[in-house]
């Protein structure tokens, strides 16, 4: 991939590899890549969002194979592994009781839903993650599958925006009128 993070300077092979590192679902990679060339990073992000939001249950399961348990380090050296390490770094803590509670929650979740617990860890602390894990254990299968799919979409879009940053938003201000004496 280009150093600039500009999708207009990215080959199809580089784009596909980048998409795969953001979401390991081949339909996602294919459908987004088929819409190339993109005129801007914003166009890429706009095209990727709806596809990432349309995952089937089987695709959710396939994507989860690329995510470590919360609190566990991702092994390997690829871009997807680097994303996982970075996303979970903020959630790391030396609080052994909290780490043990998350570990126990992961086990309970896997026993309940037969899949790894997935949450957008970026920007969340371990206490918040544990609280969400506890809340989600009470969901029914359908609601939890929808929640996992939503979390995958959020993670995908954060990763994609890291690789291909959107254009900065500019705000225009209108001058304020001075009161007349």
pLDDT of residue 91: 46
Contact 59, 26 (CB under 8 A): no
The predicted model scores a pTM of 0.80
16 domain-assigned? yes
Number of domains in the chain: 1
10: helix, strand or coil: coil
171 domain-assigned? no
Model pLDDT for residues 74-111, shown as the tens digit of each residue: 555 555 555 555 555 544 556 889 989 999 999 999 99
> How far is Cα 125 from Cα 143, in angstroms, rounded to an integer?
23
173 domain-assigned? no
Weakest-pLDDT range from 47-56, 91-100, 144-153, 170-179? 170-179
CATH number at residue 119: 1.10.3330.10
Model pLDDT for residues 139-152, shown as the tens digit of each residue: 999 999 999 999 99
66 domain-assigned? yes
12 domain-assigned? yes
2 domain-assigned? no
pLDDT of residue 100: 93
85 domain-assigned? yes
Range of the domain at 78: 7-163
> How far is Cα 87 from Cα 77, in angstroms, rounded to an integer?
15
pLDDT of residue 97: 92
């Amino acid at each position: 991939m280009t150093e600039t993070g500009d999708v207009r300077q990215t080959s199809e092979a580089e784009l596909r590899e980048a998409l795969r590192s953001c979401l390991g679902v081949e339909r996602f990679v294919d459908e987004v890549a088929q819409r190339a060339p993109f005129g801007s990073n914003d166009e890429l992000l706009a095209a990727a969002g709806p596809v990432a939001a349309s995952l089937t249950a089987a695709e959710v399961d396939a994507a989860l194979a690329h995510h470590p348990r919360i609190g566990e380090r991702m092994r390997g050296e690829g871009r997807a592994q680097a994303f996982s390490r970075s996303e979970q770094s903020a959630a790391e803590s030396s609080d052994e009781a909290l780490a043990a509670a998350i570990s126990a929650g992961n086990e309970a979740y896997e026993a309940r839903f037969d899949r790894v617990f997935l949450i957008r860890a970026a920007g969340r602390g371990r206490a918040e993650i544990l609280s969400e894990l506890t809340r989600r254990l009470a969901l029914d299968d359908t609601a939890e599958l929808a929640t996992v799919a939503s979390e995958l979409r959020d993670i995908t879009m954060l990763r994609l925006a890291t690789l291909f940053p959107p254009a900065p938003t500019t705000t225009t201000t209108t001058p304020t009128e001075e009161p007349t004496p």
